[in-house]
Structure 1
Amino acid sequence: MTTARRHWNGVLMSTLEAAADPDAPLRSVTLPAEWDVDAASALAQLVPGDDPIDLPALASRWISALAPDEASARSLVWLLLTRQAAPVEAVWHCAFDRPAGFVVNLASFVSPGEGFAARTFVAALKLICAVLRQAALNMADQRNGDLPLPDLFAPSPSAGTDTPPMQAITAGDILLTNMDACLAGVGLDYDSEDGRAAACAITALATLTAHAGRGPESLPLPPVRTVLPGLGETLRAVWNEAAVETLAPVAPIETGFSTPNPIDGLLGVESCGLAPVFSMLRPDGRLANSTRQRLDIRGFTVETALAAALAGETVLPQPGPKAHLAMYRALTGFADRMPARPETLPTPVRLRLERGMRRILPARHGGFTQKTTIGGHRLFMRTGEYEDGTLGELTLTPTRESPMVRGLMESFGDAVSIGLQYGAPLEAYVENFAYSCFGPAGTVEGDPVASYATSMLDYAFRALSDTYLDRRLPDGPHQDSASEPDPLLPLDLPEGDDTQPTRPRRNLRLVC
C-alpha cells in the first residue's frame, strides 16, 4: 500500500465535510482539490461508517491488489485523478470473489478544441483489460461466486501446473458512462443521426479493444459512419490488431453501460450510461457542463441564451424518452450487454399523483342515492363526486342481510373509495367486478340500467359504468337457482322405498 500511495505525491488535496445522504452525519473526506462535494458524498457511500476517509489510502488498497507493476499502478492512479475511469464498488472493498470491472467516463476523453481522444481512450482500455486479466489469473482461487459452465469440459491445464486456462475465466467488465456529455463535448446533439453514429463508433471501439486476442469471431462489425475526426482510422487500426489469430485465447472481457451507482458520482458523471442529460441544470442550480458546451457551440452566452429563451426561442432542445430509445436501438449490437430497454409510454394522468397524495372529497359534494332490489334483496348505493363530476366515493349498504355481509359490503365500498381518491381508474374496477357471480342474484327492480344482475357488485359497477363512463353494459346470463340446491340449506333426503322403515331425525343440541 505504501508503494501505491507514493504516486499521489505532489497532488493538491483538500478536506471536505460530506455525508452519504442528508440524514447521515457529516464525515471528513480528503480528496483532490479539483473535485467537488458530490465526489466526497460518493466516497461516503462507498465507505460505510463514520470514520474520516482518505482517498489515497482507500485507492491504494485496490491499486496494490490489481497493478502487476509500478507502471501500471502509476497509470491507474492517473486514470482516477483525471476521473477517466474507476473500478466498480466491489473492487474498492477488495472483494474479488466475482469478476472485477471498471467504469469509464467517456466525457473525460474529450479535450476542448481537439475532440474525442480516440488513441488515449484505446490506451486506457488496454491498460484496464491487462489489469483485469492479470487479476483474474492471480485471484482465481477466490472466484467462488461464479462457475464457467461453458468450459466445464475444456482441456485440463498442463501437468504440474495449478493455473487454470485463461479462456475458462471471465476477467471482468468495462462499463461505459456519460455518453450524452461526451457528445456535447464534441458538438453533437444526443437526438441526432450524427450523435447516434458517433456513439456507435465509440462503443464499437471499446468492444473491439476489449475483445482483442480472442479471435476474429468475437469481434463486432464496425459502424458504417464514424463522424468524429480521426476515429475511423483508430477503429481500423484496432480492428486489424484485434482480428489477428491467437494460439491461446485470452480471458473474455465484456462491455456494457453503467447503472446508477456511487462510482458515477465519484467520476463527476452527468448522465448515467447511455441515458441523455434530461436537465440543463446541476443539482445545485448551476448550468451543467454539457449545457455550457452546447451553448458555446451554438454561439450563445448565458445572457444571450436567457434572452432568446424569454423571447420564445428554443435554445437547446432537450431529449426525451423517444431519443433515449432511439439511442438504445442504435447501440444494440456494438456492446456485449445492454441495460434495460427504456420506457417511452407516457404515464397516465391519474398515476402522476405523488406517492402518498390523496384527493379528498370536499365537505359538500354532489352524487346520487339509488335504492334497488336484486333478487328480492334490497341495496342502497350512494356516490360522491368531485367538482368536475368524476366519482370519488362509493357506499354499498344491503339493508336486510346479516351483520357480517353488511359489514363486508360497506368495507368494500370504503376500499373502492380510497382507491379512487388515490387515482385508481374506475374502468379497472368495472372490468374486475362487473358480472361477478354470487348470491344474492336475480331480477333488478328500481333501476332501468339493468333488468337482471348476477350479484350485487355486478349491478353496482354496471350502474357506475353507465353513469360515469357513459357505457351501458348488457345483462349477464341468467343462472337457474333451482338446478342446484343451496349448500347452506339442509339437503332433502333421497326418496326411499315406502316399505323400508325411516330413521327418525335427531334433534340438534347446542353444546356450550
Structure 2
Amino acid sequence: MAGILGTLWDGVALRRERIGADPDSSPRPVALPAAWEEDAAAALAALAPGSGPVILPILAENWIRRVTTRGRRLGLLESPEEADQLAAGLRTLLLARRGAPGAEVWRDRKEEARFVLNLPAFLDAEGAFDAVGYAAAVAFGVRALDILGQGRSPRLRVGFADLAGLLAAYRLPYGGQEAQAVAAAVAALTRGAAEAESGRLAARHGALHPVALIWPEPPEETAIPGLAAAARAALNAAAASPGLRHEGCVALAPADAVEALLGAESAGLAPAAGPLRPTRDEEGRYMLRPTRAALRAGDAAAAVLAPPP
C-alpha cells in the first residue's frame, strides 16, 4: 500500500468482500470504496488479471503509473510535476466514478485502448450537469490515450456511457426530440473538447493532422442548461487549434466491466434496460430494485424508461 500514501487514495475507506466477476465465476477477495455497490465489486473482480485478491487503489495505480512513466520516457510529459498532475486527475476521475480507461488497460493487454466517461456522474448535488468538468475529463482521457499509444496513434477512442441515465435525471423520454438534442450536444461537446486537447498537444509536439472545420452543428439549446453553449465553445476552441495530433479522437465502443465499475447502467447511446434491475438482498436472495436511472427520474421513471417505440 506504500504506493498510495500521500495520494488521493490515502484515507479512502474500503470495504472488502468475496465476489466473482459473474455468478458462474469463483469468488475472489476484493476491496473497493465503501459506498460502491455490489455491481462495482463484481466489475473489479473482472478487471483484475488472475484469481487472487484485488485492491482497487493498487490495481488502479498500476495503470496510472504505467501512463505517467511512459509519458515521461517518451517526452510527452515534460516534468515530474506534469506527470503528478496527470496522475492526480486520473485518480480524481476514477474515485468520482466519472471516467476510466477500458478493461484492456486495467489488464495491460496489447489492444487499442479506450477511455470512457460516465455521463450521470457529472451531475452535481443539485442535479446540474458539470459541462466544464466533463470537458476537462475528456482532455484527461485524450492525454492518457495519447501516451498509451506511444504518441503515435492516429485515432483515439474517447467515449461516454449511460446517456439514458443522464436523460432520466432530466425526465426526458429516450428517443424524444429533447433527448435527441441532448445526445447531439453531448457528442459535440465530447468531440470539441477532445479535438481541442489534441490541438494543445499539437502545439507542443507538432501537428500531424489538419483541423476539421466541418462537423454537425450542435443544437442551439437543450433541456440541460449550459450544455449547448459548452458544446459550441468546445468546437470553437478546437477550430482555433493550429492543427491536431490525431485524425479522430471520439469513438463509442461496446461496454466492458469498466462501465459497471463506474456505475454506468447502459453503454454509449443505448437506451435503458428498464426501471428495475435484479440484485441480491442481505441474505443473498435475488430481488428487483429500482435502477439508478429510475431513482433519478422519480415518479416519471415508468414513462421515461419505457422501451423506445
1:205 matched to 2:200 = no
Q: How many residues align?
A: 275
Change (3 A) 1:126 1:245: closer
1:196 counterpart residue number: 180
Cα contact 1:85–1:267 (8 A) shared by 2: yes
1:71 matched to 2:85 = yes
Pick the structure with more helix per residue.
Answer: 2
- Aligned CA RMSD, in angstroms, stands at 2.3
Query: How far did residue 132 of structure 1 move?
Result: 1.9
1:270 matched to 2:254 = no
Cα contact 2:168–2:305 (8 A) shared by 1: no
Instruction: Tell me the alpha carbon deviations over residues 106-134 of structure 1, each in whole angstroms, 9 at most, x when there is no partner.
Output: 11112242421111100111121122223
Give structure 2 stretches of 5+ with no counterpart.
69-76, 78-82, 200-208, 280-287
Mapping 1:409-424, distance limit 5 Å: none
* Local SS of the residue matching 2:277: coil
Cα contact 2:274–2:306 (8 A) shared by 1: no
Query: How far did residue 264 of structure 1 move?
Result: 1.5
Q: Which residue identity is paired with 1:255? A: V
Query: How far did residue 89 of structure 1 move?
Result: 1.1
Cα contact 2:168–2:304 (8 A) shared by 1: no
Instruction: Tell me the alpha carbon deviations over residues 467-492 of structure 1, each in whole angstroms, 9 at most, x when there is no partner.
Output: xxxxxxxxxxxxxxxxxxxxxxxxxx
* Local SS of the residue matching 1:273: coil
- Normalising by the residue count of structure 1, what TM-score does the alignment of the two structures yield? 0.50
2:231 counterpart residue number: 235
CA distance in 2, matches of 1:65, 1:317: 42
Mapping 1:46-445, distance limit 5 Å: 46-67=47-68, 68=77, 69-95=83-109, 97-137=110-150, 166=152, 169-170=153-154, 172-212=156-196, 213=199, 215-217=210-212, 220-227=215-222, 228-246=224-242, 249-284=244-279, 285-295=288-298, 298=300, 316=303, 318-320=305-307, 322=309
Query: How far did residue 25 of structure 1 move?
Result: 2.1
Q: Which residue identity is paired with 2:43? A: A
CA distance in 2, matches of 1:170, 1:132: 11
CA distance in 2, matches of 1:252, 1:99: 15
* Local SS of the residue matching 2:45: helix
Instruction: Tell me the alpha carbon deviations over residues 216-263 of structure 1, each in whole angstroms, 9 at most, x when there is no partner.
Output: 4265233234312112221222122110241x5313443222313111
CA distance in 1, matches of 2:291, 2:268: 17
Give structure 1 stretches of 5+ with no counterpart.
139-165, 299-304, 306-314, 323-512
Cα contact 2:19–2:28 (8 A) shared by 1: yes
CA distance in 2, matches of 1:265, 1:3: 25
Instruction: Tell me the alpha carbon deviations over residues 298-343 of structure 1, each in whole angstroms, 9 at most, x when there is no partner.
Output: 5xxxxxx9xxxxxxxxx52543354xxxxxxxxxxxxxxxxxxxxx
Query: How far did residue 201 of structure 1 move?
Result: 0.4
Q: Which residue identity is paired with 2:98? A: Q
Instruction: Tell me the alpha carbon deviations over residues 134-161 of structure 1, each in whole angstroms, 9 at most, x when there is no partner.
Output: 33236xxxxxxxxxxxxxxxxxxxxxxx
CA distance in 1, matches of 2:235, 2:122: 20
Query: How far did residue 203 of structure 1 move?
Result: 1.0
Query: How far did residue 94 of structure 1 move?
Result: 2.3
Q: Which residue identity is paired with 1:122? A: A
Query: How far did residue 21 of structure 1 move?
Result: 2.2
Query: How far did residue 172 of structure 1 move?
Result: 2.5
Query: How far did residue 6 of structure 1 move?
Result: 4.2
Instruction: Tell me the alpha carbon deviations over residues 175-226 of structure 1, each in whole angstroms, 9 at most, x when there is no partner.
Output: 2110100111233221311011111101111011222225442652332343
Cα contact 1:4–1:64 (8 A) shared by 2: no
State, as a whole percentage, how many aligned pairs show the same letter. Answer: 32
Change (3 A) 1:57 1:18: same
CA distance in 2, matches of 1:77, 1:105: 15
- Normalising by the residue count of structure 2, what TM-score does the alignment of the two structures yield? 0.81
Larger Rg computed on CA atoms:
1
Cα contact 1:112–1:185 (8 A) shared by 2: no
